[in-house]
Amino acid sequence: MQRPLAIFGGTFDPIHNAHLRVAWEASEALDADVRLLPASVPPHRDQPVADARQRAALVRAALVGQARLTLDTRELQREGPSYTIDTLLELRAEMGEARPLVLLVGADAFAGLTTWHRWRELFDHAHIGVLTRPGHDGAALPTELRTKIASRRCADAASLRESAAGRVLPIAVTPLEISASTVRAILASGREPRWLVPDALFADPALLAPYRTRA
Ligand code: ATP
């Protein structure tokens, strides 16, 4: 079985060190390459402060110099909302049927999975890696989701190599209390989010400029 490919989506408005740390820990836990996919029109969220091109530039700058985490801009290039099911179908068509594909989602997002577009089909095309933060109890799962995953749960990363899709694995990640909202608030108030975002984001003043003025 081939090495898994994992995908980690988000608004990344802007990308910060907790995103990077989580993606890195998942990459190590799964021995997988991880693609970061900025979402263009997140169906569940307010519109981002920075536009698609600016957020992609931030992710690109954050990832310079290492190979295991890469930027995938497909959701920014697509018209309309970024539905995960469409992304999985596209990736599956590119990768073929055999390679394990792992959708990484935070425990809170996972608890809301039944609100996602065509959520039941997600399991047909990918495994789901649920990013759990020790000490943070995830939200309770709705009955329908509990039933759906009952026979899919697994406890070790090796299980995800036995098939291309369909399993659910908790992945413990280090809790880091950083959020994009905090980074935006710091920038909007004229301060610097040093050590909350990678140094590379300060190298070009244009990168964080969208957040420096209040909307
Ligand atoms: P905002 O503050 O604007 O809500 P955010 O920091 O949560 O943004 P997103 O782009 O919404 O950033 O997050 C993308 C993914 O990263 C989500 O799956 C989210 O659960 C995860 N994530 C965000 N912050 C952290 C964190 N501090 N630790 C672990 N995972 C995180």
Residue pLDDT, tens place only, 9-53:
999 999 999 999 999 999 999 999 999 999 986 556 678 999 999
In this prediction, residue 79 carries a pLDDT of 78
In this prediction, residue 115 carries a pLDDT of 96
Number of compact structural domains in the chain: 1
pLDDT of 181 strictly over 60: yes
0.75 surpassed by pTM = yes
**Are 161 and 129 in contact, with CB atoms under 8 Å apart?**
no
CA of 31 to the centre of ligand 1 (A): 22
In this prediction, residue 214 carries a pLDDT of 55
Indicate which CATH number applies to the domain containing 20.
3.40.50.620
CA of 1 to the centre of ligand 1 (A): 31
In this prediction, residue 80 carries a pLDDT of 77
Mutational pocket test of ligand 1: of 19, 34, 76, 196, the residue with most ligand atoms within 8 Å of the beta carbon? 19
Whether 89 is in the pocket of ligand 1, judged by its Cβ within 6 Å, is no
pLDDT digits (tens, 9 = 90+) for 75-106: 998 877 779 999 999 999 999 999 999 999 99
Whether 55 is in the pocket of ligand 1, judged by its Cβ within 6 Å, is no
Structural domain span for residue 153: 5-212
